[in-house]
Amino acid sequence: MCGRTACTLASDEVSRACSYRDRGGQRRQPRWRDGDADKYRPSYNKSPQSTSPVLLSQRHFDTNAPVDECVLASMRWGLVPAWFKENDPSKMQYSTNNCRSENILEKKTYKDPLIKGQRCVILADGFYEWKRQAKDKQPFFIYFPQTKGTSQEKTDDEDDPATSAGNKENSETTGPPEEDSADLTQGEAPGEWTGWKLLTMAGLFDCWTPPGGGEPLYTYSVITVNASLNLESIHDRMPAVLDGEEEVRRWLDFGEVKSQDAMKLLQSKSSLTFHPVSSLVNNSRNNSPECLQPIDLNSKKEPKPTASSKMMMSWLASSEPSKRKEPACESKEQESEAAAQCQSTGLLHQWLHGAKKPRTK
Cite the active site residues. Answer: 2, 129
Q: Are strands 31-32 and 98-100 parallel, antiparallel or unpaired?
A: unpaired
To the nearest 10°, report the CA torsion of 106, 112, 117, 123.
-80
Whole-angstrom CA distances from 295 to 33, 132, 181, 304, 357 are: 38, 17, 20, 9, 20
Give which of 6, 136, 42 is closest to 329, Cα–Cα: 42
DSSP string, 168-211: GGGGGGPPPPGGGGS-TTTTPPTT---S---EEEEEEEEEE--T
Among left, alpha and beta (phi > 0; psi -120 to 50; other), residue 117 is left
Gap between the Cα atoms of 221 and 204, Å rounded: 6
- Determine the distance from the C-alpha atom of residue 188 to the mean position of all C-alpha atoms in its chain, rounded to a whole number: 23
Are the CB atoms for 207 and 216 separated by under 8 Å? yes
Are the CB atoms for 225 and 101 separated by under 8 Å? yes
SS3 132: strand
